[in-house]
Amino acid sequence: MSAESFDLFVIGAGSGGVRAARMAAQRGARVAVADPAPLGGTCVNLGCIPKKLYSFAAHYADAFEESHGYGWTMTQPSFDWATLKANRAREILRLNGIYAQLLEGSGVTLLPSRATLRGPNEVEVDGRIHRAKHVLVATGGRPVVPVLPGHELAVTSNEMFDLPEFPRRLVVIGGGYIASEFASIFAGLGSQVTQIYRGEQILRGFDDDVRHFVAAEMRKKGVVLHTQAQVAQIERAAGALQATLVNGAVLSADTILYATGRRPNTEGLGLAELDVKLTPNGAVVVDEHYRSSVPSIHALGDVIDRVQLTPVALAEAMALVDRLFGEGRRRVDYELIPTAVFTDPNIGTVGLTEAAARERFGDVRVFRSEFKALKHTLSGSSERTLMKLVVDAASDRVVGLHMVGADAGEIVQGFGVALKAGATKAQFDATIGIHPTAAEEFVTMREPSMA
């Protein structure tokens, strides 16, 4: 193999790595991708996709119950965990194959093994040294479990999709979006779920109204939520797992999930040996062009611990490829990134929280609406929907939009375009709503709840 084997060598075949490899190859670059894990990374295999599939599954129990109000009768439905797991596995395998086809079809060399950096332009795979003009580290992140007595008895989000037995009792430790999503999913599937969070309210970083509202809705759906609580130890006793809290309370469970954070996957890659600058938690430090402290080595996605979202990694990959093999005009704007949390009910949000808007702009107007969706006037469900707009008073620009309710992510995606375009509250008001929908509430709120 020649000394300059590749123009770009990508370590990691997750969303960002695959996108960068494909786009670079389509621009004529010689590209290789190395990853021992199934193609697609966390999102496809252990994150976004299986999580959303399980979220769909979790809603059917409510749907069966709610159908009675619409005249449907049926025998008591039952849930089969093995069937869901098998069907999910088949779909993920299909997606792995699609990723392989996309890469191979673009002319990318696939190396299904672990890669280690041996020099600024050298990567070792299976004992063979490959040279590359540019190296991209896109190895993502992994869940971490804090060290405490019995921590090895807990599982992480990686194992939750394929547990051997369905947990009739589940304890979820953590208050972020991953913990809250799994709490909602397994409660919907039929588990008795207890969620433990050390803070005053789950989903730190989200708008306070959203946090309190969704916590109340989750409790209505059966999640027992304990805030300002911590686990002291985990042990196996009387045929079950037991989590003992700092206050002395003991919770019994079939499965205990720790979802308290993630850490970039940088150990063992040879980065430290090359003096690539890392943060204290192991993230690769990069500049605005995703270049590390070693100019030939780049990084993006979860491994830089900037914004841990798949679409952000994709955007970063496009910007990097454009700089290395194109005109270099692409930039990633980290403002106004829409996101969704697949709790029950869902959260959709884009822009600033009320607190952040007040800190940035000072004078803001807030519009808030809470209601029972039309569907639930007959379903018998007590679920409610929350919608909130945060407006900069000086410019009338809508700077924050938040929703808790059915299909919140689908609804907020479109409004993300409006906020990105700089839409004002007056323009929201001038827009005709689609009736009857929940989404129309965003263009019909007239009176501010506070200023």
The C-alpha angle 245, 249, 251, rounded to 5 degrees, equals 85
Does residue 11 sit in helix, strand or coil? Answer: strand
Return left, alpha or beta for 11; rule: phi > 0 is left, psi -120 to 50 is alpha, else beta: beta
Mark 300-336 as b/e (b = at least 16 C-beta within 10 Å).
bbbbbbbbbbbebbbbbbbbbbbbbbeeeeeebeeeb
Does a cis peptide bond (omega within 30 degrees of 0) precede residue 143?
A: no
Copy the structure tokens of residue 153: 């008895």
Look at strands 122-125 and 115-119 and give their pairing: antiparallel
Closest CA to 144 of 263, 29, 243, 224: 263
Question: In 3D, which of 24, 22, 161 has the Cα closest to residue 99?
Answer: 22
DSSP labels, 101-139 = HHHHHTTPEEE-S-EEEEETTEEEETTEEEEEEEEEE--
Active-site residues: which are they? 435
Bridge-based pairing of strands 231-237 and 240-245 is: antiparallel
